[in-house]
Chain A
Amino acid sequence: MTTSGWIIMALSVGGTSGLFLWCIARVLRRPDKTEKLHGVLDTELKIEEEERQRRREERARD
């Protein structure tokens, strides 16, 4: 393995790995709007379910 081989390998492997890890870190740091949307949807579904449960209980009491 020559010195130039080491340099090319370090630049190629280090460059691609470094860039990929940098991109992944950036992706993971950004809040995922999609997951947030799911969060909102889940909350809405929970509220609706609670509302239905309350109505069922009221009907049962009546």
Chain B
Amino acid sequence: MNRPAPENWSTRIGVILAVTGSAVGLGNFLRFPGLAAKYDGGTFMIPYFIALLLLGLPLAWAEWSMGRYGGTRGHHSSPGIFRLLWKNRAAPYLGVLGLIVPIVIYMYYVFIESWCLGYAWHYLTGAMDLGKDPKAYGAFFQSYVGIEENASLFADPFRGPLVFLVICIALNFILINRGLTRGIELFCLWAMPLLALCAVLVLIRVLTLGTPDPSQPELNVLSGLGQMWNLGSPEKSVWQSLADGRMWMEAAGQIFFSLSVGFGVIITYASYLRRDDDIALSATTAATGNQFFEVSLGGLITIPSAFIFLGAAGVVGGTFALGFNTLPLVFEHMPLGRWVGFLWFFLLFLAAITSSLSMLQPAIAFLQEGLGLTRTRATALLCGVGTAGTLFVVWFSKKLTALDTFDFWVGTFCIFLLASVQTFIFGWVFGPAQGLAELDRGAGLRIPRLFAFVIKYVSPVYLLAIFALWAWQNMGGYVTSFREDPVVRWSILFLLGVLALFLWWIRIAVKRWEMEEQSS
């Protein structure tokens, strides 16, 4: 049987930057500040840090330790690692979540990544000078992503957004085909410091804005920071804000999605570590690195800059509205705005590509170890599946329905499922004692013993509570849209097709692994 040659990270800082790069994405710079502004600024940080300690860090440590355990025994994908940890016939099939979650998220994430690259290019060439009318930026975004009509982006495929999409897809697959160390690690070693540099330059520009419009002295840097960080609001006390259950749910959701736990990526990345390599310190460094980008950079840039130029109305809006409508308008008002706009969208592009690259590796690893394909053949096969999904999302671009459906069922629902499966396998099958022993081997940091209790009891309850609340609030609308919108039905059918394909491949892989075990 063909087994791929064993691969390992070449440096410890390389794996840390790769995992941090996987976690740092648009959510750090757009979703987190938007949520903080929505929930009375500083008050949001209380449930946010509690969720980090009770959910984010324990899940990250669990995923790193399961990954290294599986990797040292010859498996790098969730189906193989779950089968190793849990001697149950269902275990490898549950691992399908660790393959379809990253690859389906990749299908639409690369589309968003291409917007960031396209916007960066437009700023560089001066094509984003749309004046000071807010509607112009909304209209530009809508036409750029094809919100008005399905297949509208294919009307002129050799100009405009599709060119940037092709560049992004090619870049992702060229880098992933180069392998773990020469592709992912080398790229992240350059891209992550460059991303930090771009963010620091934008931060310096925002913090030195002072009071740009003397006729509106209340719109200044300090008021902008206050909008993000002040505790409570004039309408509500801190205690009233803390009594809002939705804030706790959204804070936990933000931690959960931001750290990339339950994506199936960390488990694969950690599987390329050696038996005695440190995981405790590396996992903590990667998690705190993600928090640094989110809190210290995203938290100081996005909301203050939007408030300084647009006032309180400017800080309201979802991720796309804030990122692609509000901030371009802010850059228009800002001195040196064209260059700050370029830096901003280029940093978003870097954040997105380091994440999308990581989404391809779990399936590549599985195709290599499960079906015995070479890396080039695995890359080509995955390129076909991934690009088919991306084209589906781009074709059904009206109101971004396909993207939204993929994001809801796979980018949210399946992530909850996968995180629950991982918590169950780690806490109740592998066992916290064995998990702690795994974390302690070669450790550069001693994990608190309380972790065993937290991962077995607290994290699952916390996770299920958020899952239940989220389902209660959101499921009804999506079930209705399934009945009413044919694009939603087609999208779900497509997702079921991808699921069936990967389940079939897992069946072949399990047979191969059983034959290997019998012959050895």
A interface residues with partner B (beta carbon < 8 Å):
1-2, 4-9, 11-13, 16-17, 19-20, 23-24, 26-28, 30, 32-35, 38
B interface residues with partner A (beta carbon < 8 Å):
8-13, 16, 41-42, 45, 49, 222-223, 225-226, 228-232, 274, 276-278, 281-282, 284-285, 288-289, 291-292, 294-296, 299-300, 442, 444-445
A33 to B229 CA separation, bound complex (whole angstroms)? 42
B10, B229, B294 pick with most chain A CB within 10 angstroms: B229
A26 to B274 CA separation, bound complex (whole angstroms)? 19
B9 touches A34 (CB 8 A): yes
A26 to B445 CA separation, bound complex (whole angstroms)? 9
Chain B residues whose CB sits within 8 angstroms of the CB of A6 once the complex forms: 229
A27 touches B13 (CB 8 A): yes
A34 touches B10 (CB 8 A): yes
B9 touches A23 (CB 8 A): no
B230's partner among A4, A28, A33 (CB-CB below 8 A) is A4
Q: What is the minimal beta-carbon distance from A50 to any residue of chain B, in angstroms? A: 24
A15 to B445 CA separation, bound complex (whole angstroms)? 18
**Which DSSP category, helix, strand, loop or mixed, fits chain B's interface?**
helix
Chain A residues whose CB sits within 8 angstroms of the CB of B442 once the complex forms: 33
A33 touches B11 (CB 8 A): no
B11 touches A17 (CB 8 A): no
Q: What is the minimal beta-carbon distance from B280 to any residue of chain A, in angstroms? A: 10
A15 to B501 CA separation, bound complex (whole angstroms)? 45
B296 touches A27 (CB 8 A): no
Q: What is the minimal beta-carbon distance from B478 to any residue of chain A, in angstroms? A: 34
Beta-carbon nearest neighbor of B230 in chain A = A5
A33 touches B277 (CB 8 A): yes
B292 touches A8 (CB 8 A): no
A7 to B230 CA separation, bound complex (whole angstroms)? 9
Instruction: Assess A2 versus B285: contact at CB under 8 Å? Given A13-B300, A26-B444, A27-B16.
Output: no
Q: What is the minimal beta-carbon distance from A16 to any residue of chain B, in angstroms? A: 4
Chain A residues whose CB sits within 8 angstroms of the CB of B276 once the complex forms: 33
Instruction: Assess A27 versus B285: contact at CB under 8 Å? Given A4-B231, A34-B9, A34-B12.
Output: yes
A38 to B12 CA separation, bound complex (whole angstroms)? 13
Beta-carbon nearest neighbor of B9 in chain A = A34
A16 touches B12 (CB 8 A): no
Subset of 11 A-B contacts with CB under 8 Å:
A8-B41, A9-B42, A12-B42, A12-B296, A12-B299, A23-B445, A26-B444, A30-B12, A32-B12, A34-B10, A35-B10
A6 to B225 CA separation, bound complex (whole angstroms)? 9
Q: What is the minimal beta-carbon distance from B391 to any residue of chain A, in angstroms? A: 39
A13 to B442 CA separation, bound complex (whole angstroms)? 30
A16's partner among B16, B274, B296 (CB-CB below 8 A) is B296
The 8 tightest CB contacts between A and B, nearest first, are: A8-B42, A1-B226, A5-B230, A23-B285, A4-B231, A9-B229, A20-B292, A20-B288
Beta-carbon nearest neighbor of B15 in chain A = A34
Beta-carbon nearest neighbor of B444 in chain A = A30
B13 touches A28 (CB 8 A): yes
B222's partner among A1, A23, A30 (CB-CB below 8 A) is A1
